Chains A and B, each alone.
Chain A
Amino acid sequence: SQQGEEDPQALSIQEGENATMNCSYKTSINNLQWYRQNSGRGLVHLILIRSNEREKHSGRLRVTLDTSKKSSSLLITASRAADTASYFCATLRVDSGYSTLTFGKGTMLLVSP
């Protein structure tokens, strides 16, 4: 079953604005990861937040995690046209001795110059 669900499905903003994407999930997790995918390309790992962390920063990225609400958000500040891509959250769960990484459907971000 689909674990992560991103919201919104699509987001269109102007360069310089901030972009916020949300992700909800259903089961307990070990960590949550955000990936980026340019059209027709592979996945790029952006940031990982562990289940015992609440917030993490990396450059212009800020990720929050609320395990009580089973939700996470990804904030991209001062967006650039080059940030245009699809963004996916993925939850990692360890069960029966091995890990499973489950992806949401993604948010398509369009940043206009």
Chain B
Amino acid sequence: NAGVMQNPRHLVRRRGQEARLRCSPMKGHSHVYWYRQLPEEGLKFMVYLQKENIIDESGMPKERFSAEFPKEGPSILRIQQVVRGDSAAYFCASSPDTGGYTFGSGTRLTVV
């Protein structure tokens, strides 16, 4: 079991471009969570998804950010028209129905 796989590990985008971050949950985990960590800060919850459904997106910015977890394939966090303030580490976690989060190693997004 490879754990939670996030890619890419590092992503550099120019202002105005799109960023797509991928997260493959652990085998058997149907719950995915995305968190954002700004420099020198803790992790802030963004969105919780189950297969094909967004359960809680209370931490997602209202514009430019979207997330999906399709029936097949990884969960995707998409940031359109990136700005410098989007530079952060984005972590994904997955859990089974019985609970217990496992975190990925994160994607570090730098907007130049």
Interface residues of chain A, those whose CB is within 8 Å of chain B, are 2, 4, 40-43, 45, 88, 90, 92, 98-106
Size of chain B's interface in residues, with CB distance under 8 A? 22
Quick one: which of A40, A90, A99, A104 has the most chain B CB within 10 A? A99
Closest Cβ–Cβ distance, residue B84 to chain A (whole Å): 19
Contact B42 A106 (CB under 8 A): yes
* Residues of B participating in the A interface, judged by any CB pair closer than 8 Å: 31, 33, 35, 41-45, 48, 55-56, 91, 93, 95, 99, 101-106, 108
Query: CB within 8 A of B42: which of A98, A99, A103?
Result: A103
How many pairs of residues, A versus B, come closer than 8 Å at their CB atoms?
A: 44
Complex contacts, A105 vs chain B, CB 8 Å: 41-42
Q: Please give, as numbers and ranges, the residues of chain B lying within 8 Å of A40 by CB-CB distance.
A: 108
Residues of B within 8 A of A106 (CB): 41-42
